Amino acid sequence: MIDSFFEELSTELHNGVTEKGHPFRFITMATVGNETTARLRTVVLREVNKDLRLTIYTDSRTQKIKHIAENNQVSFLLYHPEKMLQLKVEGTAEMATNLERLKSTWQNIQPNSRKDYITETSPGTTIKNPDHVEYVEDKNYFTIIDIFPTKIEYLKLKRPNHIRALFTKTDNNWKGEFLVP
């Protein structure tokens, strides 16, 4: 029985990448680094592979990159309002180092979207006016972050009973157990 809930969460994660307008496309990511306060931000889910490795893109100069270098344990929060489904994902983040993958992915990014990774100054830098952002032409700061989930908590809000389950990955296998909602 619990396998059907894992199958649902897996399907919905994949749909977040493949279905236009799916609520799992834009997700909340938390990092901590060496600080005591978690930092949250919305990121775009770019890929989900068959092992549920989640992939996002970012500028290599962002705070999330600094946090991951200090503490590579991250979490995501996803919510599907129509299905009343919440997923909390915990895992280990790694920056992609395969130059061919980085180059190939960069070449497939739309030219207007590349602006997110070619600003003269790093994201979060103070500017006087939004029109004063300068871009570089000869390089980019594009980075791929892969997240390898170790825990996924599933919560389905429904009547007569909510359903909550925790799935934990050990030795490349997912094991599930129900929790009190």
Has residue 18 got a pLDDT over 90? yes
**pLDDT at residue 132 in the model:** 87
Q: Hey, what amino acid is at 165?
A: A
**pLDDT at residue 9 in the model:** 98
What integer best gives the mean pLDDT of the chain?
Answer: 96
75 C-beta neighbours (distance < 10 Å), count: 20
**pLDDT at residue 35 in the model:** 82
Q: Give the tens place of pLDDT for each residue, 80-139.
A: 999 999 999 999 999 999 999 999 999 999 999 999 999 999 999 999 999 989 999 899
pTM for the whole thing? 0.94
Nearest to 44 by CA among 17, 61, 25: 25
Please state, in angstroms and rounded to a whole number, the distance separating the CA atoms of residues 62 and 74.
15
Q: Hey, what amino acid is at 43?
A: V
Q: For a pLDDT cut of 70, what percent of the chain falls above it?
A: 100
Average pLDDT over residues 18-34: 96
73-to-32, 91, 150 alpha-carbon distances in Å = 8, 6, 10
Question: 2-179 has which CATH code?
Answer: 2.30.110.10
Q: Among 8-17, 32-41, 80-89, 103-112, which is the least confidently predicted range?
A: 32-41
